[in-house]
A and B are shown apart, each in its own frame.
Chain A
Amino acid sequence: MPQEDRSDTTTWFQDEVMRLLPDLLAGARGMASSSADAEDLVAESVARAWEKLGDLEDRDRFRGWLFCIMKNQFLGRVRRRNARPTEVPLSEEEAHEPGFSLFDQVHQPFLLWWGNTEQDFLNNLLKEDLQQAIEGLPDPYRTVVTLADVRGFRYAEIAEALEIPVGTVRSRLARGRSRLQEELWTHAVDAGLRQRDPPEGGTIE
Chain B
Amino acid sequence: MTLRPDIDCEEAVRQLAAYLDQELDSSVTETMQRHLDTCQSCYSRAEFERRLKARIRQELAVDSVPLDFRERMRLLMRSLP
On A, residues with C-beta under 8 Å from B are 10, 13-14, 17-18, 21-22, 25-26, 39, 42-43, 46-47, 50, 101-103, 106-107, 109, 118-119, 122, 125, 127, 130-131, 134, 148-152, 154-155, 170, 173-174, 177, 181
Contacts and interface: CB of A to CB of B under 8 A. Distances in A.
B70 interface: yes
Nearest to A181: B52
A154 B21 CA distance: 8
Given A10-B80, A18-B74, A26-B64, 10 more contacts: A47-B80, A50-B80, A103-B44, A106-B48, A118-B47, A130-B55, A149-B53, A155-B21, A155-B23, A173-B17
A43 B76 contact: yes
Interface string B10-41: 00000001100101000000000000000001
A118 B44 contact: yes
Interface residues of B, number: 29
Contact of B52 (A21, A22, A122, A152): A122
A102 B48 contact: yes
Given A39-B69, A43-B76, A150-B61, A122 B21 contact: no
Contacts of B18: 170
B9 interface: no
B73 interface: yes
A177 B23 contact: no
Contacts of B4: none
A109 B39 CA distance: 13
Nearest to B76: A43
B76 A109 contact: no
A148 B56 CA distance: 11
A150 B48 contact: no
A131 B60 contact: yes
A89 to B, nearest CB: 24
B65 interface: yes
Contacts of B56: 130, 134, 149-150
Nearest to A123: B55
Contacts of A25: 64-65, 69
A122 B55 contact: yes
Contacts of A134: 56, 60
A130 B23 contact: no
Which has the most chain A C-beta neighbours within 10 Å: B44, B47, B74, B80? B80
Interface string B55-81: 111011100110001101110110010
B78 to A, nearest CB: 8
Contacts of A10: 80
B64 A150 contact: yes
